[in-house]
Amino acid sequence: MSTNIDTPEHLKDAEALLTDTGFTTSNVWYHGTTSGLTASILANGLKRSGDNEINQATKKAMATIGNSYTERKEPIYLTQSKQLAYYWASQKVRARKVHTGHDETPEVIEITLDETLNAGVKPDVGAVVMLMDLNPYMGYLEEVYQAKGLPFDLDDIQANAMELNREDYLNKFGLAYYQKSMSAKVLKLVK
């Protein structure tokens, strides 16, 4: 399943990060976003509220059809790979195009955390479970693993999912989250 994500060369780090046990981690994380949000993120930090513009568009659409909408506090989604963050940035560009009509470009924010803050990064096991059923991200991961010559057998992973620990999920799938907003001081745009 080809995802047609054309990752810029300077973001292709999966080759270096990917081992036979998955993606290595450190205190450096990445967040995929869009050009329409980057200036605000770099000025104000990453906020747990998610994308205000999409939230407002959804709220307005729900009101139009007579339903209510309750905003929820999303965590900050992270990955240990610039390449994987670019995938999610591309998805965010598509979502914002649908909801707001804006033409934006994918961008990646680098987050460097001290030891105390880094301890707050958690494997996003819930996201993995939701994505396992033929989500394009799984196809993208398979492409990344195959490019490195490593196996990524989703059927085998699903069959043995109960045996994986939380760190296995983080390493194999590159999905993490952080439950607090982050200061702009720890952020920089990857150029």
- Average the pLDDT over 154-162 and give the result: 77
Query: Most confidently modeled of 6-15, 43-52, 134-143, 145-154?
Result: 6-15
Long-range contacts at 56-63 (CB < 8 A, ≥ 24 apart):
57/99, 57/100, 58/99
The label of the residue with tokens 């450190």 reads 26
CB 14, CB 80: distance < 8 Å: no
| Spatial contact of 89 and 32, defined as CB atoms under 8 Å apart | yes
Give the CA distances from residue 189 to residues 16, 34, 41, 56, 62, in Å, rounded to whole numbers and listed in that order. Answer: 20, 11, 10, 26, 34
Q: What is the pTM of this model?
A: 0.85
The 10 Å CB-count burial string (b at 16+, else e) for 144-178 is: bbeeeeeebeeeebeeeeeebeeebbbbbbbbbbb
Average pLDDT of the segment spanning 45-56: 67
Annotated domain spans of the chain = 9-189
Amino acid 100: pLDDT: 79
Q: Residue 54 — pLDDT band, cuts 50, 70, 90? A: very low
3-class secondary structure, 27: coil
pLDDT, residue 1, reads 46
Per-residue pLDDT tens digits for 103-144: 999 999 999 999 999 999 999 888 877 777 667 898 899 999
- Amino acid 13 reads D
Give the pLDDT score at 59: 55
Per the prediction, the chain carries an average pLDDT of 86
Interval 60-76: pLDDT, tens = 555 566 676 566 678 89
Q: Which run of H or E residues covers position 8?
A: none
At residue 91, does pLDDT exceed 60?
yes
For residue 134, CA distances in Å to 130, 142, 186 come to: 10, 11, 34
At residue 75, the 3 state secondary structure works out as coil
Q: For residue 70, what pLDDT is reported? A: 63
C-alpha 64/C-alpha 188 separation (Å) is: 38
pLDDT score of 2 more than 90: no
